Amino acid sequence: DLREAVEPPDGTSWKELLADASVGVTGANWLLAETGSVVLVHRPGRPRMLSLLPRHHFVVASLDQLVPNLDSVIPFLEEIHAAPDFPAVTIVTGSSRTADIEKILIKGVHGPQNLEVFLLAEQST
């Protein structure tokens, strides 16, 4: 169950565990149809680093998480923002890219080089 929070092994931090990871697998809170974006809400046991440090980020989600656009989730994000333990929220629309250095296109400067979304037809649990 990708919606279940997990913790790293005793004596290990997420940063240590993920520093050399080539793949990070997460669930998603919402998928935005309009932009093809993935919305991730990060809390203890669901570290943001898991979607940012590895070179490849795989998202496993289901059709029930697909919403038309960002406006569809704004009420939920406002509720999350009002919580005393306000978690981080990341909206991912593919890998980052830049051509600032010598006009050479580089992917994955801020985050993974590749993002793949696996959409399951059945409702996730």
- Phi and psi at residue 52, in whole multiples of 5°? -115, -35
pLDDT in tens, 40-56: 998 776 778 888 888 89
In this structure, of 19-28, 85-94, 96-105, the range with the lowest mean pLDDT score is: 96-105
Structural domains in the chain, CATH included, are: 14-120 (3.40.50.10420)
Q: What is the pLDDT of residues 56-77, one digit of tens each?
A: 999 999 999 999 999 999 999 9
By the 8 A CB rule, do 53 and 21 touch?
yes
The residue with greater pLDDT, 124 or 101, is 101
Token reading at 48: 């943001």
d(CA 81, CA 55): 29
| pLDDT tens digits along 93-107 | 877 777 777 888 877
